[in-house]
Chains A and B, each alone.
Chain A
């Protein structure tokens, strides 16, 4: 079964750091671009970051640029989101998504609370 499983969320204080992981199962990971998308409680979806198949391109939303770092390990089928200098407004469910004719596979999300 094609699946993405996020982990690493939790409750942190403003200014803290956190690393999210997203493990891919059931498909060949390396050819796909991957994204992180977040959703604050009761709000809409916000794109956070994208990484290309071989990390050849990386993009960030302005709201996280300079604080978040996306990376991937194709040998382990994992994509990461390193988050530093967290702010209250970073509180959200963070989803990992596969990029293929749209975001065709989503994980179940991991909650990050900054308070």
Chain B
């Protein structure tokens, strides 16, 4: 099966930079997408096609890619960024796969 692996958690102080990685073989052929989910809420799209930011998403969110790993970077972390983050990509056969999820703890 196709898997996307993320670190379970990342802790960061306000104003610092958080980097969330997502690794998987499919990422060499497919774009990655990132979603933010706060407790009790539906996810929202914060990054598409590896590095593109949807309208309304703050500029402090950025994306990068290298080989089998994509990274979501949050620069100048704010308390409001405390949330779960999931990567997602297309997989063969028309399916989609989500990453294991990363909890960003803003200290």
Contacts and interface: CB of A to CB of B under 8 A. Distances in A.
A80 interface: no
A109 B44 CA distance: 13
B94 A45 contact: no
A102 B48 contact: yes
Interface in B80-98: 86, 88, 93-98
Interface string B39-83: 000111100110010100000000000000000000000000000
**Central interface residue in A47, A50, A109, by most chain B CB within 10 Å:** A47
A1 interface: no
Contacts of A88: none
B96 A35 contact: yes
Interface in A71-100: 95
A41 to B, nearest CB: 12
Interface in A91-115: 95, 101-104, 106-109
Contacts of A37: 98
A109 B99 CA distance: 20
A90 to B, nearest CB: 17
B93 A109 contact: no
Contacts of B49: 101-102
B23 to A, nearest CB: 15
Interface of A: 35, 37, 44-47, 50, 57, 59, 61, 95, 101-104, 106-109
Interface of B: 33, 35, 37, 42-45, 48-49, 52, 54, 86, 88, 93-101
29 contacts: A44-B86, A44-B98, A44-B101, A45-B86, A45-B98, A46-B98, A47-B95, A47-B96, A50-B94, A50-B95, A50-B96, A59-B93, A59-B94, A59-B95, A61-B95, A95-B43, A101-B48, A101-B49, A102-B45, A102-B49, A102-B88, A103-B33, A103-B35, A103-B43, A103-B45, A104-B54, A106-B43, A107-B42, A109-B42
